[in-house]
Chains A and B, each alone.
Chain A
Amino acid sequence: MLELNSLQKTYRTGDKALNDVTLSVPEGQIVGLIGPSGAGKSTLIRCINRLVEPTSGSITLSGRPITGLGHRELRAMRRRIGMIFQEYALVERLTVMENVLSGRLGYVGFWTSFTRRYGADDISRAYHLLDRVGLMDHADKRADALSGGQRQRVGIARALAQEPELLLVDEPTASLDPKTSRQIMRLLTGICAEHGLPAIVNIHDVPLAQQFMQRIVGLRAGQIVFDGAPSALTEDVLSEIYGAEDWHAMRRGAEEDRAAEADSVAHLERIGA
Chain B
Amino acid sequence: MNGYPATWKRPPQIFTHRGWRIGLQTGFAVWLVLALATLDPNWARIVEGWERGLRFAGGFLQPDFTSRWSDISKGLVESLTMTLTSTVAGIVISVPIGVGAARNIAPRAVYLVCRSIIALSRALQEIIIAIFFVAMFGFGPFAGFLTLSFATIGFLSKLLAEDIEDIDEAQAEAIRATGASWLQMINYAIQPQVMPRLIGLSLYRLDINFRESAVIGIVGAGGIGATLNTAIDRYEYDSAGAILLLIIALVMVTEYGSSYLRKFLQ
- Taking Cβ atoms with an 8 Å cutoff, the residues of A that contact B are 49, 51, 75-81, 83, 85, 87, 89-94, 98, 102-107, 110, 113-114, 155, 158, 162, 168
Contacts and interface: CB of A to CB of B under 8 A. Distances in A.
A91 B171 contact: yes
B175 interface: yes
Given A89-B173, A94-B192, A105-B188, A162 B178 contact: yes
B179 interface: yes
Given A91-B171, A91-B193, A93-B196, 12 more contacts: A77-B179, A78-B178, A79-B178, A85-B173, A89-B170, A92-B168, A92-B192, A92-B193, A93-B195, A94-B192, A102-B188, A105-B180
Contacts of B177: 49, 51, 78, 81, 83, 168
Interface string B144-186: 0000000000000000000000001011011111111101100
B226 interface: no
Contacts, number: 81
Given A102-B188, A105-B184, A89 B174 contact: yes
Contacts of A49: 177
Most chain A beta-carbon neighbours within 10 Å: one of B175, B180, B193:
B180
A75 B178 CA distance: 8
A49 B173 CA distance: 11
Which of B168, B175, B179, B188 counts the most A-chain CB atoms under 10 A from its CB?
B179
Nearest to B170: A89
Contacts of A105: 175, 178-181, 184, 188
Interface centre among A75, A89, A90, A103 (most CB of B within 10 A): A89
B215 interface: no
Contacts of A155: 174
B176 A51 contact: yes
Contact of A85 (B174, B184, B188, B196): B174
B187 interface: yes
Contacts of A113: 180, 184, 187-188
9 contacts: A83-B174, A92-B168, A102-B178, A102-B188, A104-B178, A105-B180, A105-B188, A106-B180, A158-B178
A189 B161 CA distance: 41
Contacts of B170: 85, 87, 89
B179 A76 contact: yes
Contact of A79 (B173, B179, B187, B195): B179
B243 interface: no
Contacts of A162: 178-179
Given A94-B192, A114-B187, A106 B174 contact: no
A51 B59 CA distance: 68
